[in-house]
């Protein structure tokens, strides 16, 4: 695909645009990665003109770009690329006015940062205005439905105007450097890949913990819950990257083919498995840091049975991962903010040091994604000394702090990579339709099993690591969560 000359940004006055998209585009501009003639046409319902929107964009950059990277002159250059067209996506006639601002001959990328309910009317409006041609590609933000059926409706509406090769579904986790480094760690080093299987790995843990509550997303979150908001997309993508087979090439088709094989290999969880495989929770009163916080229902303002925490025991049923449990957990108002992948290797089959009083521990690999990007390998080493009281071994960490290892490289927002790939037409780090639908199929089965088993969210105190039943979920297998 060729590089496009125009980006059409829907939802341009929203929170995502201010916090992520405009700062990301500014970063690409500063680094000279956007074509000289590249233009950004922004649209939303707000009644701005070009000058007012440019002023609001500068304010957003000042608020969300690191102070040492923000520059008034460069911000002025960047916003000169911006123009604004007010638009109500439910009104077809507004799209003709929008089309007057766009020259599709140079290629057009469209980014929909809107509610899913607006996807179809927006696509219909774009089609009626002649903005869905062969040189036009479309990016969509999650959520892509609330279940498999609604996801298929959205995908069908998109496919009516944009074939799969011109559709870019965004999961911003795939733009994070450490997530991409997981592929480099596995497939660019001979050290790990020979060990990356059930013969050498005991189990895998993936944690996505948040300290925040609803943050103004009450309406959406209460209708979604942790399973659909976090597990269906981000966490299952991480499972796929951990568990995938080596692709033949690092290209969109090869990588995504291997990911979808993993998603289709996830073992279904039935109602008889719920007691040992699924725990849900909802936060009550507590404290995060030193600040007291109220319960989910007090924050929501009404009673609710929506889960704000979920822990799962999953299995990938194929040769590589037979018998290896994948423990997943995510929640709001938890003890600390962190996203990490924890790989527990198996112990050595025989310790030659046991007769000398030494204890060995299994090696561990910790891939930290946020708040800090870090790769840590925990290995055994001998404690210095003459060993007259017995030989001692100690677990030590071999750290690769990304900020230190690449101190000469600017730390980028995940959306910088994704927006640049969209502009240049590289779909490798975007999610294909069959991936999305495989993820929804598994989540729908889990939710149906939970309903059949009558599973209700357990209370946990805000500022904790979730309900105690989540600890039992792993400890019955002799496993402890990596907190």
- pLDDT tens-digit map of 136-192: 999 998 888 899 999 999 999 999 999 999 999 999 989 888 888 899 999 998 989
Cα separation, 416 vs 403, whole angstroms: 17
Please, which residues bridge with residue 108 across strands? 6, 136
pLDDT tens digits, residue range 310-341? Answer: 999 999 999 999 999 999 999 999 999 999 99
Q: Say whether 364 counts as a known binding-site residue.
A: no
Q: Which pLDDT value is given to residue 108?
A: 95
Assign 402 a pLDDT band (cuts: 50, 70, 90). Answer: low
Is the pLDDT score of 95 beyond 60?
yes
| pLDDT-wise least confident of 93-97, 416-420, 444-448, 474-478 | 93-97
The mean of the pLDDT values for the chain is: 92
Residue 374 neighbours by CB under 8 Å, 6+ apart:
178, 366, 367, 368, 399, 400, 401, 402
> Is residue 453 within 8 Å of residue 283, measured between CB atoms?
no
pLDDT tens digits, residue range 6-50? Answer: 999 999 999 999 999 999 999 999 999 999 999 999 999 989 999
Phi/psi of residue 388, nearest 5 degrees: -70, -25
Cα separation, 43 vs 7, whole angstroms: 11
Q: Which pLDDT value is given to residue 91?
A: 86
Is the pLDDT score of 407 beyond 70?
no
Q: Which pLDDT value is given to residue 218?
A: 82
Angle at 167 between CA 165 and CA 171, to 5 degrees: 120
Cα separation, 410 vs 446, whole angstroms: 41
> Is residue 426 within 8 Å of residue 252, measured between CB atoms?
yes
Annotated catalytic residue within 234, 315, 350, 482: 234
Q: Which pLDDT value is given to residue 405?
A: 59
Closest listed residue to residue 310, CA positions, set 218, 224, 219: 224
Q: Which pLDDT value is given to residue 410?
A: 66
Q: Which CATH code fits 6-141?
A: 3.40.50.720
Query: In which residue are the tokens 């219909």 written?
Result: 124
Q: Say whether 120 counts as a known binding-site residue.
A: no
The pTM of the full predicted model, rounded to 2 decimals, is 0.93
> Is residue 214 within 8 Å of residue 300, measured between CB atoms?
yes
Long-range Cβ contacts of 287-292 (<8 Å, 24+ apart): 287/462, 287/463, 288/211, 288/333, 288/335, 288/462, 288/463, 289/211, 289/463
Mean pLDDT calculated for residue range 61-86: 94
Q: Say whether 2 counts as a known binding-site residue.
A: no
Choice between 288 and 381, residue whose per-residue pLDDT is larger: 288
Query: In which residue are the tokens 């509550």 written?
Result: 213
Mean pLDDT calculated for residue range 404-419: 76
pLDDT tens digits, residue range 100-123? Answer: 889 878 899 999 988 888 899 999
The residue extents of the domains of the chain are 6-141, 174-413+432-475
How many residues appear in the chain? 483
Same fold, 6-141 and 174-413+432-475: no
Cα separation, 320 vs 66, whole angstroms: 43
Is the pLDDT score of 404 beyond 70?
no
Is the pLDDT score of 473 beyond 90?
yes
CA 405, distance to chain mean position in Å, is 23
Question: Residue 40: enclosing H or E segment and its boundaries?
Answer: strand 39-44
How does 391-412 read in b/e, with b if 16+ C-beta sit within 10 Å? bebeeeeeeeebeeeeeeeeeb
Is the pLDDT score of 305 beyond 90?
yes
Residue 462 neighbours by CB under 8 Å, 6+ apart:
213, 283, 284, 285, 286, 287, 288, 293, 294, 295, 333
CATH class for domain 174-413+432-475? alpha beta
Cα separation, 89 vs 285, whole angstroms: 40
Sign of CA dihedral 264, 266, 271, 272: positive
Cα separation, 418 vs 448, whole angstroms: 34
Q: Which pLDDT value is given to residue 399?
A: 81
Q: Say whether 416 counts as a known binding-site residue.
A: no
Cα separation, 438 vs 266, whole angstroms: 9
> Is residue 173 within 8 Å of residue 238, measured between CB atoms?
yes
Q: Is 258 helix (H, G, I), strand (E, B) or coil?
A: helix
SS (H, E, C) 104-159: HHHCEEEEECCCHHHHHHHHHHHHHCCCCCCCEEEEECCCCCCCHHHHHHHHHHHH
The yes-or-no answer on residue 203 being catalytic is no
Q: Say whether 313 counts as a known binding-site residue.
A: no
pLDDT tens digits, residue range 173-184? Answer: 898 888 888 999
Mean pLDDT calculated for residue range 357-363: 82
pLDDT tens digits, residue range 386-401? Answer: 666 767 787 888 887 7
Is the pLDDT score of 408 beyond 70?
no
| pLDDT-wise least confident of 156-170, 200-214, 233-247, 406-420 | 406-420
Mean pLDDT calculated for residue range 40-67: 94
Mean pLDDT calculated for residue range 245-272: 95
Rounded to 10 deg, the angle between the 22-30 and 72-79 helix axes is 110
Q: Say whether 456 counts as a known binding-site residue.
A: no
Query: How does strand 364-370 pair with strand 374-382?
Result: antiparallel
Instruction: Report residue 320 as tokens.
Output: 């590589």
Q: Say whether 332 counts as a known binding-site residue.
A: yes
Q: Which pLDDT value is given to residue 114?
A: 86
């Amino acid at each position: 695909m060729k590089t496009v000359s125009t980006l059409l940004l829907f939802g341009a006055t929203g929170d995502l645009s201010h916090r992520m998209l405009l700062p990301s585009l500014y970063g690409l501009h500063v680094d000279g990665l956007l074509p000289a003639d590249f233009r950004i046409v922004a649209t939303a319902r707000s009644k701005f003109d070009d000058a007012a929107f440019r002023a609001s964009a500068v304010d957003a950059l000042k608020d969300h770009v690191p102070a040492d990277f923000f520059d008034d002159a460069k911000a002025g250059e960047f916003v000169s690329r911006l123009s604004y067209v007010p638009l109500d996506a439910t009104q077809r006639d507004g799209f003709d006015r929008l089309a007057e601002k766009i020259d599709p001959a140079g290629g057009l990328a469209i980014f929909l940062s809107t509610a899913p309910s607006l996807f179809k009317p927006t696509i219909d409006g774009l089609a009626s205005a002649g903005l869905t041609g062969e040189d036009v590609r479309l990016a969509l933000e999650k959520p892509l439905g609330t279940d498999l059926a609604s996801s298929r409706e959205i995908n069908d509406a998109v496919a009516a105007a944009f074939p799969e090769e011109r559709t870019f579904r965004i999961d911003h986790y795939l733009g994070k450097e450490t997530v991409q480094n997981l592929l480099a760690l596995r497939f660019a080093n001979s050290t790990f890949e020979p060990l990356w299987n059930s013969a050498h790995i005991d189990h895998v843990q993936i944690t996505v913990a948040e300290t925040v509550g609803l943050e103004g997303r009450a309406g959406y979150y209460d209708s979604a819950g942790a399973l659909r908001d976090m597990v269906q997309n981000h966490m299952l993508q991480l499972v796929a990257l951990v568990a995938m087979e080596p692709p033949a090439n690092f290209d969109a088709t090869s990588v995504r083919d291997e990911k979808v094989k993993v998603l289709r290999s996830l073992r279904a969880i039935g109602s008889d498995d719920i007691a040992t495989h699924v725990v849900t929770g909802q936060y009550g009163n507590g404290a995060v840091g030193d600040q007291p916080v109220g319960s989910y229902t007090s924050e929501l303002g009404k009673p609710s049975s929506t889960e704000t925490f979920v822990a799962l025991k999953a299995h990938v049923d194929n040769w590589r991962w037979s018998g290896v449990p994948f423990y997943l957990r995510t929640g709001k108002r938890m003890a600390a903010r962190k996203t990490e992948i924890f790989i527990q290797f198996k112990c050595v089959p025989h310790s030659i040091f046991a007769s000398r009083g030494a204890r060995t521990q299994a090696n561990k690999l910790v891939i930290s994604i946020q708040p800090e990007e870090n790769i840590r390998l925990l290995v055994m080493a001998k404690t210095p000394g003459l060993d007259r009281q017995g030989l001692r071994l100690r677990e030590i960490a071999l750290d690769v702090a990304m900020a230190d290892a690449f101190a000469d490289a600017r730390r980028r927002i995940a959306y910088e990579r994704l927006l640049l790939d969209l502009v240049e037409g590289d779909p490798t780090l975007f999610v294909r339709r069959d991936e999305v639908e495989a993820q929804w199929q598994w989540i729908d089965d889990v939710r149906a099993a939970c309903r059949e088993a009558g599973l209700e969210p357990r209370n946990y105190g805000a500022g904790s690591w979730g309900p105690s039943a989540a600890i039992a979920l792993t400890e019955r297998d002799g496993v402890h969560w990596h907190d």
